[in-house]
Amino acid sequence: MTAPKRWVLPAPAKLNLFLHVTGRRADGYHELESVFVPITLADTVALTSREDGQIRLIDPPEGLTEKNDLACRAARALQRATGTTLGVDIHLKKVIPQGGGLGGGSSDAATTLLGLNRLWSLGQARDQLRAVGEKLGADVPFFIFGQPAFASGVGERLLAVSLPLNQYVVAFPGICVATADVFAETGLTRNTPRAERKVFAENFGHNDLQPVAERLQPQISSLCGAFIRAGAAPRMSGSGACVFAPTSGAIAAQALVAQLRGAGWQCWIVKSIAHHPLIGFASG
């Protein structure tokens, strides 16, 4: 009997360099504009093929089960879309904070789709995988798209953008923010003007969700204050709760991390990346 194939693959996090809410549709969904960039902070997804069609989550991280984990849902969705009879054991090593606005679960799902496309020899094109990913979560298509992107609509329309690679400090306040709660707030700004050009300076825009998230979870505001006292310009990613700031170089980043950790915050030095490490796992 042939030994099962096992691949160990990265699932990088993302930052929203800005996030504008430009309107609300009749169906209740919000129109957004944002620039997504993948970063070096990453989970690890190990995929081991199975011949019996089962999809199992091995040693699941706290709070995750085979029913609610996005990677497992992605594998099942790909089975349905392609009719394959193969299965997979999924083992996740979580580094990206859950509920932190960095897209960890969505990235795990995208890496699973890309990895299984090769592991199961499916030959799916990128657009086919994105179509599967869209049904799993708004951020999944970005990770399959695989490069810095301007997102619009409800996040499903992606346009590649060219950005200089940068270094950031990312910090997690230790709490999570429910995205639905943020969007349900009556005080949320929903009429930010649309970007007229798709060329963005590093400090372009803002995050419309941040004031609401700070009201719901004051620890985010406290974390932002720690950044400011250290001389940095913080911004929240996604709907929170992680906060990030660009740095001018390694020495500045290390100094900022030292101050934040000294104040008790969990943080990392990360870099933006030009392409998802698995971008070659799908064609087109």
Query: Which residues are known to be catalytic?
Result: 14, 139
Q: 219-227 long-range CB contacts below 8 Å, 24 or more apart?
A: 219/173, 219/174, 219/175, 220/173, 220/175, 220/177, 222/173, 223/171, 223/173, 223/265, 226/171, 226/259, 226/260, 226/263, 226/265, 227/171, 227/256, 227/260
Q: Kindly compute the dihedral angle of the four CA atoms of residues 42, 86, 69, 140, in this order, to the nearest 10 degrees.
A: 60
Nearest to 269 by CA among 241, 239, 248, 284: 248
CB atoms within 10 A of CB 197: 5
